[in-house]
Amino acid sequence: MFKSLRLQAFLSEMILNIELSKLKLHYFLMGSIFYLNDSIKSNKLIKLIKY
């Protein structure tokens, strides 16, 4: 009984950690995409200003 509860707790913690890392990865990717979009836009603006 005690062993199975411990195992269950361990497994749910593992799943939680996986979900958290998925979320972190998702936000990291979103941030990178936004950053790239911003830099591309600013590069276009710089090119427009230069010419």
- Mean pLDDT, consecutive 10-residue stretches, the chain (51 aa), reads 86 95 93 89 79 61
Distance CA 41, CA 49 (A): 12
3-state helix, strand, coil in the chain (%, to 5): 95, 0, 5
Q: Within its chain, how far is the Cα of 8 from the centroid?
A: 27
What pLDDT is recorded for position 45? 75
Could you list the residue range(s) of the whole structural domain that residue 12 is in? 1-51
What pLDDT is recorded for position 1? 62
Q: Per this entry, what is the length of the chain?
A: 51
What pLDDT is recorded for position 51? 61
Distance CA 49, CA 42 (A): 10
Number of separate domains in the chain: 1
